[in-house]
Amino acid sequence: MTNLDPRSMIALAGFMSALMAIVLACMRRYYPPHIRGIGAWAAAPVFWLASTALFSSRGLVPDWMGLVGANTLLVLGTMTYYMGTRAFLGHRHTWRIWSGVLLLCLGVFTWLSYGWPNYEARLTFFTLVMSCIYGAQLRFLLRFGGSNFPVRLVEVVLVLHLATLLMRLGSIFAGHTGANLMEPSIYQNLYIGAYALTVLMLSIGALLMATDRLRTELEHLATHDSLTPALNRRALLQRCEEEIERARRYGGGPSLMMLDLDHFKAVNDSCGHQHGDAVLVHFVGRTLAVLRTPDRMGRYGGEEFMVLLPGTDATAALNVARRIHATLAVGHALDCKVSIGLTQWTGPEDTLDAMLARADAALYRAKAQGRNQTVVG
């Protein structure tokens, strides 16, 4: 392993950086702009690529480029990746703090290259700074990243590279620093190889996180109403079929409620469709607030909605209907009146079509009896 050429390994890391920068830049161009952080993730490999190019050119370029510039760009790329992660998870940038750290690094690298040239001190300082950045990102992901696979992958990569950096510090304190970065040794090759792998895996982790976010949003769009937080008709009917099938196996069937906003056409005609949309959003938000976690609400069509109440008989469902009427009568400017038709599952022979027909018939009776009430069918 000591016969490996450090320049070749650094060039390999640069190639990986260039490849992942292109991939992430394409993602930034074609992914929705509200998925933030991809631009910073795409910029980070560019900085890493520039750094590896300068590292590989030592002896061919001035020391302020091959030493000071290369180390500073590597730190900048790692900071930029961290800022991209913060933006992706909806947190503000902390560039004001990290810019100060970057300026400090620039000053220290310059001093340890020209004022007091000392490879061991420069290597120690660089390793400590990188450990702090990786540690800050790992702490951030553990607090806010969640538990999905892409985040866990990045966390594992950060832990492994932190372990490598600690091993490097141990080798420095044990007197195995070497004369310079290009000196072939097991410690140098281990660190450079770990760096090349980390660059690749962090970029892959960013790609997977962005792809997972896009997949989640597409699934949400496919199952939810485009205006309100309610499910769309297809998704809600699928949930109803699943719940009825569960009830046939285990008992405890659901209740269904059909809800229709009273005189909604008059609202649109007198106040405009934008106001009507606001009424619908308010109605759904208030209704969801009084439902249980397993309950499901969907938009059946226009101003007509449906609520699935798993494991609920008609008596308990009536209490839910009363809460809906009450929450829409608190005096809010967007409050509306609603008629509700309610039915419960009657046994293994009952079907979704039959339940929908009963709930719809009950809804029409509620309308005929004066609206703003609940009728059981």
SS3 238: helix
Distance CA 8, CA 229 (A): 54
CA proximity to 313, closest of 351, 356, 361, 346: 346
Catalytic residue among 242, 245, 303, 349: 303
CB of 338 closer than 8 Å to CB of 283: yes
Q: Are 112 and 149 in contact (CB under 8 A)?
A: no
Confirm whether 303 is a catalytic residue.
yes
How big is the CA angle at 135 (ends 57 and 42), to the nearest 5 degrees?
A: 50
For residues 266 and 360, what is the distance between their CA atoms, to the nearest angstrom? Answer: 22
Pairing mode, strands 338-344 and 374-376: parallel
C-alpha–C-alpha distance, residues 42 and 40, integer Å? 5
The SS3 call for residue 347 is coil
Distance CA 204, CA 27 (A): 12
Q: Which of 195, 184, 176, 188 is nearest to 5 (CA)?
A: 184
For the beta carbon of residue 85, count every other beta carbon within 10 angstroms: 25
By annotation, the residues acting in catalysis are 303
